[in-house]
Structure 1
């Protein structure tokens, strides 16, 4: 796959959006054809959209439109014809019937705006899912955006999302330790970088004052790259942690 890394810095004012919600950023990314293959199917959460996604994907993720750090994310899975599992953090509930499921979700989301998203079966390390945070930044408005760094987050035992991470490790180490068997780890990492550069530069054409973007990247069991979401305030603490680990002990 070839990518066009040049993205116009100026976008028609009618296309601009001030919203920084997950839904707004998803719609922007989806409007670039090159990125569509890397985006999980996503819709606004409604009763109809929930059951359509469950019917198609079996398992979905419900996310607050304005959430961060994994707060409020709910996984909904179809177990049998009329039986479903809901998981929030490390708590799982088994329910029978669509009505019971919807009523439970309604209690959990408390009238917040939510999205429903296709669940990506993330690659695993010792049976724990992991994803990759890639940070794209620029020094100022006159410099080009570049990859500042990346790291892998491994989920804590019992969790289905990586925001509660048991480990933060280098990406190459994560892929080598995982159940993935890519033809070339370097080519896979380069593909991740290219996808993130395209996504970040395109997002920044709508948010020109944004100097730093964190992209959460999932790899499924076939090593397919997925843009799970974009974050405008990515934490830099994991980079400091990795740097300290790599420094020789005195």
Structure 2
């Protein structure tokens, strides 16, 4: 088994080595005061997350408001900071731990609620990576994280999410083909560094223009999410790959 870290930061650095994948990765940096302000000024909104957590835990958003204040959103709760000094004091508590800061992607939405995608990429021993299933996770009302338990969101098929979103005028076939291509390339890029991994749950997203983004890669994804889809054959297919 590899001793290489499975943190979000390490996986991001490995994915960045692929010139082909860079355009699908949100700009990401180790959380420092300078990196935070550079990215917030550049994008207007950023996400801060622990590099070792899963399930949406610890994920917060900062954004600049029109009146030059700064809004923090943690779950469904919001807090206003009135100046940079207040923000820096807050960041000082975070930067003592392992956090990254990331460009906020303006996700496509269903009924005003952002959604992202879980794409399962798996391989059998001595075989190529395959996309074995995908679903859309729609955030609960008032949340920015799409984690189903945390936000009380819902699982729908990717096709359904596309039809109900800003992307409905685009070709669903082309969007899904691009999704699969980027997911497979991601697994191929990470695979050699984590040879023991046979299942990857790749969290991906479409923005409101239909561009594909890689959010993060999970090596122990919760397969039961797929039981929430009407088509149970997708779950059975994933489980058949997952058996030792």
Q: What's the TM-score once normalised by structure 1's chain length? A: 0.87
* Structure 1: runs of 5+ lacking an equivalent: 1-15
Answer yes or no: is the 8 Å Cα contact 1:17–1:206 preserved in 2.
Answer: no
| Structure 2 Cα separation of the partners of residues 80 and 113 of structure 1 | 30
Match of 1:197 in 2: 184
1:1-250 matches, cutoff 5 A: 18-80=4-66, 82-107=68-93, 109=94, 111-139=96-124, 141-163=125-147, 164-243=151-230
| Structure 1 Cα separation of the partners of residues 105 and 20 of structure 2 | 19
Deviation at 1:67, TM superposition (A): 1.1
- Large movers: runs of 4+ above 3 Å: 243-246
Deviation at 1:44, TM superposition (A): 0.4
| Structure 1 Cα separation of the partners of residues 169 and 216 of structure 2 | 23
* Structure 2: runs of 5+ lacking an equivalent: 234-244
| Structure 2 Cα separation of the partners of residues 73 and 178 of structure 1 | 24
Answer yes or no: is the 8 Å Cα contact 2:179–2:212 preserved in 1.
Answer: yes
Deviation at 1:243, TM superposition (A): 4.3
Answer yes or no: is the 8 Å Cα contact 1:82–1:98 preserved in 2.
Answer: no
Query: How many residues are matched?
Result: 229
| Structure 1 Cα separation of the partners of residues 186 and 86 of structure 2 | 39
Q: What's the TM-score once normalised by structure 2's chain length? A: 0.89
Answer yes or no: is the 8 Å Cα contact 2:31–2:95 preserved in 1.
Answer: no
Answer yes or no: is the 8 Å Cα contact 1:44–1:114 preserved in 2.
Answer: yes
When residues 242 and 94 of structure 1 are mapped into structure 2, their CA distance, relative to the original with a 3 A threshold, is: same
